[in-house]
Amino acid sequence: MNDLPPHLHPTRILITAGSTQEPIDEVRFLGNRSSGKLGALLAISAADAGYEVTLLHGPRTISPTSHPRLQAFPFSSSRDLKAKLDEFWQSHSILIMAAAVSDYTPKGGQVDGKLKRGESMTLDLVPTQDIVASISEHSREDQRIIAFALEEQEELRDAAHAKLIRKGVDAIIANPLETMESSKINATILLKDGSELNPPTHCTKAEFARWLIENLNLVTRITSQAK
């Protein structure tokens, strides 16, 4: 693998963590409660395992410990995250999309200044671009994308499977809604070929992050190893 140019080296991982903020006016925004904890843990685990890691993290995400193989850059809105992914993706081999991207943004964009307090207000929202689907469409054959699905338990598997197809990704890590508030994780991993992987049940987010990085070849079906 060593004769590949650096931008094609298979051991560069791009990880997103935290959530986007869609600005309503200069002070208010639409947000998501994702803490960015799992994404930051994945970044550290991957760097520890020898991968070169780029972490894109949302506003007020837990800052990752510094690491010689880890570079971190902040993002704010979903539009900003998309621009940063467009910039970084081609020099990476694996994308782990742990960030929660807002599905909606205010129609017409951000209002200048600060909206006045009034009687009542209607906020018209339009869907944001499906970032993962777009990134997936513009990926090379040697690149792999792992996305996340956070859904209600009853419909978790069906919703995750639909997401796998719709977004054209290689793997979906499906979690019930309860994961967000919990220090534990109980994920099911659905792969493109129809198979499923089950990590140890009820492990901590740090344990899960290490497990996923150790089993990245299994998940991505890329046979390369971290350096």
Nearer to a copy of itself, 26 or 87 (CB): 26
Nearer to a copy of itself, 117 or 140 (CB): 117
Nearer to a copy of itself, 129 or 217 (CB): 129
- Out of 2, 122, 183, 198, point to the residue binding a copy of itself (CB under 8 A): 122
For 204, phi and psi rounded to 5 degrees? Answer: -75, 165
Measure the CA–CA gap between 93 and 204, rounded to whole angstroms.
27
Measure the CA–CA gap between 223 and 182, rounded to whole angstroms.
33
Q: Does 27 bind a copy of itself (CB under 8 A)?
A: yes
Give the three-state DSSP class for 135: helix
Nearest-5° Cα angle at 170, 91 to 177: 110
Distance of closest approach, residue 155 Cβ to a copy of itself, in angstroms: 9
* Residue 181 DSSP label: G
Distance of closest approach, residue 12 Cβ to a copy of itself, in angstroms: 30
Q: Does 136 bind a copy of itself (CB under 8 A)?
A: no
- Out of 8, 48, 71, 103, point to the residue binding a copy of itself (CB under 8 A): 103
Q: Does 151 bind a copy of itself (CB under 8 A)?
A: yes
Q: Does 150 bind a copy of itself (CB under 8 A)?
A: yes
Closest CA to 101 of 120, 78, 121: 78
Q: At what angle do helices 37-48 and 205-214 cross, to 10 degrees?
A: 40
Distance of closest approach, residue 32 Cβ to a copy of itself, in angstroms: 5
Q: Does 168 bind a copy of itself (CB under 8 A)?
A: no
Q: Does 160 bind a copy of itself (CB under 8 A)?
A: no
Residues 3-22 that bind a copy of itself (CB under 8 A): 21
- The Cβ of residue 62 has, within 10 Å, a number of other Cβ atoms equal to 15
- Out of 7, 60, 202, 227, point to the residue binding a copy of itself (CB under 8 A): 60
**Phi-psi group of 109: left, alpha or beta (phi > 0 → left; psi -120 to 50 → alpha; rest → beta):** left
60 Cβ neighbours under 8 A, 6+ residues apart: 18
Nearer to a copy of itself, 162 or 218 (CB): 162
Distance of closest approach, residue 130 Cβ to a copy of itself, in angstroms: 8
β-pairing verdict for 12-17 and 94-97: parallel
In the complex, the residues that contact a copy of itself under the rule CB under 8 A are 21, 24, 26-35, 59-60, 100, 102-104, 107, 113-115, 117-127, 150-152, 177, 180
